[in-house]
Homo-oligomer: A and B are copies of this chain.
Amino acid sequence: MRQRNLSRVLHTLADGGPLSRAAVAARIGLTRAAVSTLVDELLRGGLLVEQGPGRSGAVGRPGTQLLLTDRGPCGVGAEIGVDHLAVCVMDLRGETRVRVTHETRNQHSDPTAVLALLTSMLRRATAEAATAGLRPAGLTVAVPGLVNRGSTTVLRAPNLGWHGTDLAALLPDDLGPVTVENEANLGALAELWSGHHAPPLSGPDSFVHVSAEIGIGAALVVDGELLRGAHGFAGELGHLPVRPDGRPCSCGGRGCLETYAGEEAVLRAAGLEPGPGVRIGALAARCEAGEPTALRAVRQAGTALGIALSGAVNLLDPRQVVIGGALARLAPWLLPPVGRELARRTSVATGGRSTPVPVTASPLGPDGPLLGAARSAVRAALDAPGELLRD
C-alpha cells in the first residue's frame, strides 16, 4: 500500500508537476500529513526535488513546489523500424535527454545483427546520459510486428522477416527490466500521455490511432486504456478488407487496406518507385507542388483508409481518430477523403449527429513509437518506487 502511494505521488508529479504538497494531497485524496511523509521519503531517495520560496533550508514551507528529479533514474526507449533504428533516453520529468538514430535496412534481416547494432547504440546513448547523472531504470523496445501479450517475443514481424524472436535474449540485461511492444501501441500511448487528447469532461479518452511506416497498424484506446486483444494482436487495421475481391495481399487475403494505403502502394500509385530514400516525404513534396498523379494517389489511399476507419468507428464508437506515423505527413490531402467516407458510412454509430467523429493528424507524427517507448519505460519505473529507492 505504501509502495502504491509512493507511486501515486510520483505519477501525479509526472503528469502535472511542479505542485505543492497540498496540491499533491488534493489530487490523490490523501491527507496533507500522509503526503508529507511520502514526499520526505522520495526527497531523501533523490527522486524529487524542491523549488520555489522554501527551497533553501525551509523544507515544506508553503509555496515550495515539488518536482521529479532530472538526474538519477531514467527510461530508455528503442525503436526497430524497417529502415532505421533509434534510441531515446528520457528523464523522470518526461524530457528527452539523449537521442540516437541510425538509418539502416532491416527488411528481411538477421535479428542477431540488428540487435547487436541496437545494443551498441544503447551503450552510446546511456554512456552519454551517465555524464548527466542519469542511470537506466528500464528499457522498452518498439517493433513493427506482433508481440505475444506480456512477453518479449516477436511472434511475427513480416516486414523484418522475423518469426518467434525473443529480443530480451539479444539485448543488454543491465538497463533494467526489458519490455517489447508493438510500435502502433506505443504510438497510441505516446498520444494518450502527451495530453494532446486530454479526456473531455464527459468521459475518459477513447480513440483509434493509425500508425504507418511500411505497413499500416492501429491501436485502440478505450476509456483511457490500450485495448490489446486476447493474444496481444489487436489493431491490425491494415488487413481490414476494403475491396473484398480486390488486390491480393501478402497476408493471403484480398483487398486489405494495406494494398491500397500502405506506403508502397501509395508511392507506386503516384508513379514513384519505392526504395531507399524514396518515401512519404517525396510524395508529400509532389502533393505540395500540386502534381495531379500524386494528389490522386493520396486521395485514393484516403478513400480506402476512410472505408476501413468507418468499420472501426462503427464497431468501437471512439471519441476521435488520430492519424500518426508516416501518413501524418500527408494529412492535408489524406484527411478530406477520410472524412468524406466517415461522414457517409458512420451515421448510425454517431447517433445521427451531423458531423462524423473528428479525424486529426498526430503532432507527434513518426516520433510517436520511440517517444512512447521511452515514456513507457519511465512510467514502469514510477510504478515501482521501491526499486528506484533501493538503487
Contacts and interface: CB of A to CB of B under 8 A. Distances in A.
Contacts of A266: none
A38 to B, nearest CB: 23
A231 B235 CA distance: 21
Interface string A348-370: 11111000000000000000000
Interface residues of A, number: 55
B315 A218 contact: yes
Contacts of A311: 240-241, 308, 311-312, 315
A229 B348 CA distance: 13
Given A203-B230, A351-B156, A351-B231, A237 B315 contact: yes
B222 A348 contact: no
Contact of A347 (B251, B315, B319): B251
Copies in the complex: 2
Given A241-B345, A344-B254, A316 B206 contact: no
Interface string A302-319: 000001101110111111
Overall SS of chain A's interface = loop
B314 A240 contact: yes
Nearest to A155: B351
Cβ-closest 4 pairs across A and B: A229-B317, A236-B314, A253-B345, A234-B317
24 contacts: A155-B352, A156-B351, A220-B316, A222-B227, A227-B227, A228-B317, A231-B317, A232-B317, A233-B349, A234-B349, A235-B315, A238-B348, A239-B310, A239-B345, A240-B315, A241-B242, A241-B310, A241-B311, A251-B345, A251-B347, A253-B310, A253-B345, A253-B347, A254-B344
